[in-house]
Chain A
């Protein structure tokens, strides 16, 4: 089993785990905290990827990230606007925006279904030139994405403890309480979805520079993958403060990538990966329920305390 994890597999699992953990953090905000299933995540990820790719090709590798985040904020705003001001149910609002984003994404890439960034300066290529050390060549990508994710994680957990963050958390926690207090749910839902989608888009932009390409179908199934990471994270961390939960989500994302890496290593064909993710999510969500069921069956199978046979026989 020693050959299951080679160094390069560990490295790429960590790199991808960190990059995709930004989407998991976005879903942590929209799904876990705001209690909204934001199905525009797939399209928003591709939006961030395509905007990031196009801006990078234009020669602005650093500007690519704020540009992608701004695009994500716009997408989140539209989703929030539909559900808070237009009375569209939240799941439908996400699906509608997701559908619309397909055209937007194609348009951003100048009506082609993919673009590549070969020969362009990226955050990774620029960082690689900083040092000639051998170890640095191997590890610079991880250092960059880990630093980015840690910064975002710290900012997010700080934000969730500010007054605005508390209001956002209360919005998803107790609808009645929010109505009876001075919190405006329209504002909190809008801000929450804008922040979440900006993280999703940022993740897409980082991936575009990481793999030096962007494809229109890149985001397909992203919701499921991010949910898997989120649920794995919540399962391993359990209860705790916001910072602990954020760390859990990042760990969950890395762990998910390891599971995928192992699946690939066990020669599961790459075409089957989506099915593997779906199975992981289904299992991870069903696990607490199945655990409860199992303990119920164990309880039922225990012999009933028969009168007078064994035991103390009090009567």
Chain B
């Protein structure tokens, strides 16, 4: 589904602040793969996501999504088929617009311009949004006319997840999307993520700092360090992996002590 062929990105090249954020990263995600990514801060996880979504263009290498080379496609055009959730729940929805309007914006991906530009939200779409919101089990379906700014962080993140998947994306990028939520809400959003991804067989990449989550969720675990993928395990190798094993593996691969402080060993 997603193929990265040796992508590299250097920020501030030729200055004292030069930083090689991605160093010839190659990755092949199968259709329906759900891979978790761990790594210390500055390892390149978010940069990798931003390279895939097109927040910047990579210096070298190719990005191929569903057989189509998107290396030089613009950000908004890629977002038609890529869902992206941030750690900050406030980044995913427009606070002064209603829940319904936010859903309609997300559903724009399904419409084909130009005739759709001047159409309004139809009754059938409203009904569909309502049913989708009811699945969240948060009572949001009865608050569709309320501005999103009134929702709690957990509700907003759940809504963002729904918005990212209302039109099934080819790729879903989750950048620590439960890290800013309280444990109970995080659990709920995670369960929701698991269900939606499984039901629609969405190919998914998820950054986490929780080692348990990294091994338990999905079918593949990647570890990044210094802008490279240093570990890629799946199948029985992954089934037998423990949190300690993961840390040992990291030391072996990267050849240095993992910045343990920054990783939650829950």
A residues apposed to B, CB below 8 Å: 159, 161-164, 166-167, 169-170, 173-174, 176-185
Contact = CB atoms under 8 A, between A and B. Distances in A.
Contacts of A183: 76, 105, 108
Given A177-B93, A182-B79, A184-B74, 5 more contacts: A161-B120, A163-B104, A173-B97, A174-B93, A174-B94
B127 interface: no
Interface in B34-86: 53, 55, 74-77, 79-80, 83-86
B92 interface: yes
A170 B118 contact: no
Contact of B95 (A174, A178, A182): A174
B94 A170 contact: yes
Interface stretch (B25-33, B109-117, B128-136, B246-254): B109-117
Nearest to B53: A180
B236 interface: no
A162 B93 contact: no
Interface of B: 53, 55, 74-77, 79-80, 83-86, 88, 90-97, 101-102, 104-106, 108-109, 111, 116-121, 163-164
A180 B84 contact: yes
Given A166-B97, A173-B94, A181 B108 contact: yes
Given A163-B108, A163-B117, A164-B118, A179 B94 contact: no
A177 B94 CA distance: 7
Find the residue from A163, A179, A182 having the highest chain B CB count within 10 A. A182
Contacts of B108: 163, 166-167, 181-183
Contacts of A184: 74, 76-77
Q: Which 8 A-B pairs have the closest CB atoms?
A: A173-B94, A176-B91, A164-B117, A184-B76, A180-B84, A182-B80, A174-B94, A170-B94
Given A167-B105, A170-B94, A179 B119 contact: no
Find the residue from A163, A164, A167, A181 having the highest chain B CB count within 10 A. A181
Given A173-B94, A173-B96, A185 B101 contact: no
Contacts of A185: 76
A164 B115 CA distance: 10
A169 B76 CA distance: 16
Contacts of B109: 181-182
A184 B117 CA distance: 13
B151 to A, nearest CB: 14
Contacts of A163: 104, 108, 111, 116-120
A169 B86 CA distance: 21
Contacts of A173: 94-97
A180 B108 CA distance: 12
A166 B76 CA distance: 16
